[in-house]
Structure 1
Amino acid sequence: MDNLLRKSALIWLGLGPLCLIILFPFAVMISTAVKPRAEVLAFPPHWLPSEIRLQNFADMWQAARFGPALANSLVVSIAATVLCLLVAIPAAYAMARMQFRGQRLFRQFLLVTQMLSPIVLVLGIFRLMSKMGLVDQLPALMLAYIAFNLAFAVWMLQAYFQTIPRELEEAATLDGATSLQRLRLVFLPLAAPAIGITSVFIFIYCWNEFVLAMTLLRSNEKYTLTMQIFSLVGGRYQVEWDHVMGATLVASVPVAIVFAMLQRYLVSGLTVGAVK
């Protein structure tokens, strides 16, 4: 028991500085969000506010048009995540269980697509959306996010599908189940951890993405949170940092909620395909 306590103490002693480094920006963000504006740029800096000013959040909500931007981000992120999974799950099932010509080449193609950054393709994406008449439309952003996350989702899910014993599928086949029924009744319940972690990664990508949103969106009414928060800083002579930090803090809440809801899938989902 003493050895275990000593080992735990040494581990936390080593992790302590790393935790402080990671948590320091969040502490500054929270402190700045609730400070009176006069203390934000004071020198020497006031690490702790003289008063907790929650009115900053209400002022930020009105001044930054935070509500519409929050709704746009939720719609785009949730819709892109759901639609991407609807396409990726059957594709991953086909890769894991069916044999077809060019399968190995297709796997390599999926990996190669992950090496491309959105900024490399942003001009082509803009021209494509312009020809389709989707510039300054939220569906354009959804399609772009689905395209950039689809290969990742297929690769994650097919790796997990391969770990599911074939005997379960064969038993379902003997019972007369079709391919779609085997996918729905056998694979999906067993693949819940993989689907959970994949949806988390897709949602976070859509929630935090900035380059495509800046390229495809034009009007303030269509701005997502990343664009709306950027508008509080970019092109201004004076920046209200209490509003910026308050908006950043509130924007972090949905991601924290998603992690809390799907945390039981994270550990098992991160090891997809590791053990067969």
Structure 2
Amino acid sequence: MSAARTGDILTYVALVALGVFFAVPFAWLISLALRTPAEVYLGAARFIPSEPTLGNFATILSDPAFLIYLWNGLKLSALGGGLAVALAIPAAYACSRIDFRGRGAVMVSLLAVQMISPLVILVPLYRWMNALDLLNRDISVITIYGALGMPLAVWLLKVAFDAIPREIEEAAEIDGASRLDILTRITLPLARPGIASAFILAMVMNWSQFLIPFVLLERDADWPISVAIFNFAGSVSASTTQLLAAACLVAVLPAVTIFVLLQRMIVSALIAGAVKG
């Protein structure tokens, strides 16, 4: 057996092991969500419930408070993702079309900023929002979501803009179009898959955020689903474990659904620049 063949086999084995590592906890979560309170209370070790039920999902979805938490999470995530894309478009377009000194350093700096955990800046953010009287307001969370999602959006949109031939813009410029007209009427429509991908990824990142809304939103009516589940988990008992599992699955469902339905568009947008090169 050749070394290349052996390397491929080891790679696939490692990928399968990694997939199992992440899939088993998720499968156990599904098992818990389908159990009755009696099975959870008795600590049944079997993986497949003896009497599977969807009643846990019906219970949480019939709770108006849970639906409000879902709506809060969707609202904050979507608006934060939209803000990130809106801020990233001019920056990405400038880095793609203008050959200025330090362009590479700017892109690397954005990537470095993306690596900073929100935990590092949490205390300054809280003090800043408190000084601006923006605590317990959606605008505070949305603004921070937009700032945190902008670096990744700039990278994705630069790839999308790089994939658009400059000759198209040059032809429009010869016809008398301004730079703003070229951007809004030509470049942005052609970059729609990349823009949509950047928005979706930013929105999914925002959906999973916990620390920012947990610190800045104190009223439970304003909480997104991530914070609500955390507070529910703090008071969970054996009789409500199955409800917590069902709530976690419902909370994960939007992000998983988006990736499954739009994965082809996201991947094509991510590799567009590489294909062009």
Give the whole-Å Cα distance in 2 for the aligned partners of 1:17 and 1:237: 33
Q: Higher mean Cα deviation, 105-114 or 131-140?
A: 105-114
Computed over aligned residues only, the root mean square deviation of the Cα atoms, in angstroms, reads 2.7
Q: Higher mean Cα deviation, 71-80 or 264-273?
A: 264-273
Q: Higher mean Cα deviation, 169-178 or 14-23?
A: 14-23
* 1:263 match: 263
Residue by residue over 1:202-259, the C-alpha shift from the partner in whole angstroms, topping out at 9 and shown as x without a partner, is: 0111000111111111111011010011011125566721111100111122113322
Counterpart check, 1:143 vs 2:143 = yes
Name the aligned partner's letter for residue 153 of structure 1: A
Q: 1:114-129 maps to which residues of 2 (within 5 A)?
A: 114-129=114-129
* 2:30 match: 30
8 Å contact 1:39–1:45 — kept in the other structure? no
**Residue 129 (structure 1) shift:** 0.8
* 2:242 match: 242
* 2:203 match: 203
8 Å contact 2:41–2:239 — kept in the other structure? no
* 1:167 match: 167
Give the whole-Å Cα distance in 2 for the aligned partners of 1:251 and 1:186: 38
SS of match in other structure, 2:177: coil
**Residue 185 (structure 1) shift:** 2.9
SS of match in other structure, 2:134: coil
Unaligned runs of 5+ in 2: 1-8
**Residue 102 (structure 1) shift:** 5.0
Q: Higher mean Cα deviation, 21-30 or 233-242?
A: 233-242
Q: 1:1-276 maps to which residues of 2 (within 5 A)?
A: 17-61=17-61, 65-100=65-100, 102-234=102-234, 240-275=240-275, 276=277
Give the whole-Å Cα distance in 1 for the aligned partners of 2:83 and 2:252: 23
Q: Higher mean Cα deviation, 243-252 or 44-53?
A: 44-53
Give the whole-Å Cα distance in 1 for the aligned partners of 2:10 and 2:236: 48
Unaligned runs of 5+ in 1: 1-8
**Residue 69 (structure 1) shift:** 0.4
Residue by residue over 1:22-80, the C-alpha shift from the partner in whole angstroms, topping out at 9 and shown as x without a partner, is: 33222211111121011125345131122222221232345692111001001101111
Identity across matched positions, percent? 35
8 Å contact 1:78–1:203 — kept in the other structure? yes
Name the aligned partner's letter for residue 223 of structure 2: Y
**Residue 149 (structure 1) shift:** 1.0
Q: Higher mean Cα deviation, 53-62 or 165-174?
A: 53-62
Is the alpha carbon distance of 1:227 and 1:14 closer, same or farther for their aligned partners in structure 2, counting shifts above 3 Å?
Answer: closer
SS of match in other structure, 1:177: coil
Q: Higher mean Cα deviation, 96-105 or 199-208?
A: 96-105
* 2:4 match: none
SS of match in other structure, 1:47: coil
Give the whole-Å Cα distance in 2 for the aligned partners of 1:272 and 1:65: 42
TM-score (norm 1): 0.86
User: Across the two proteins, how many residue pairs are aligned to each other?
Assistant: 269
Give the whole-Å Cα distance in 1 for the aligned partners of 2:36 and 2:20: 25
Is the alpha carbon distance of 1:230 and 1:100 closer, same or farther for their aligned partners in structure 2, counting shifts above 3 Å?
Answer: same
Name the aligned partner's letter for residue 29 of structure 2: M
**Residue 95 (structure 1) shift:** 1.7
8 Å contact 2:136–2:219 — kept in the other structure? yes
Q: Higher mean Cα deviation, 240-249 or 21-30?
A: 21-30
Is the alpha carbon distance of 1:71 and 1:189 closer, same or farther for their aligned partners in structure 2, counting shifts above 3 Å?
Answer: same
SS of match in other structure, 1:118: coil
Is the alpha carbon distance of 1:154 and 1:12 closer, same or farther for their aligned partners in structure 2, counting shifts above 3 Å?
Answer: closer
Name the aligned partner's letter for residue 184 of structure 1: T
Name the aligned partner's letter for residue 109 of structure 2: F
